[in-house]
Structure 1
């Protein structure tokens, strides 16, 4: 699907406020409500809009820490990678997981209550049983920018 300027405006507005009513969205992007709703439905049907979510304040729900874990796997074969991926997908603490090219095999962002909670998580889940050989954890000292909006 080729995106025109109006589609991009719709996407920017929905990224800012996914709960905006269609009438208000139409006003913001300069359309009447019916064509605006049609465009939103097309963006959803094409998969450009994949879902709507509520973005929570991590600290206010008791998850004080984000930890970044650089993971080295025991091997780089398909079976080991598939085992690791399957395990990470089941863990709610792992909010982001990337298979990497470079020094690490994977990069995780893990959210936990505190450092003790992370140690328990690491000892239980970031182990050989999930195909992991080594973990190096980085602790951010400050969140400078965190956004879920893409620059469309």
Structure 2
């Protein structure tokens, strides 16, 4: 997976209905090249499907407001990894699942907020954080429900 693939995933995460022409423009490809990349990402299992989000209050079946698992992960960096190096790995777009990361005091260095499609994707994210971002230890919590939208 290269930077263009990560950019495609970021754009489709924000709007899965982007036309290939618009997607290509945003990531620097033609519409045909963007479509080919999306098909390859689907074949490789990086894109598991497309979904709609329906606010739970409006859903007859109580569908969650966000698809997938919403997680909070405490991270402890390896001693040889600087905070700047971790921030650079996050800023590179290598982790499109991460919605936010905050530097902490206490026994962990960062708290990250992420959304992943399923447990297998969560496992891949944690493994990539350890192999590619200098993370030594993690502690993961799942959000059981989110508060209802405010009016």
TM-score normalised to the size of structure 2?
0.50
Higher Cα Rg, which structure: 1
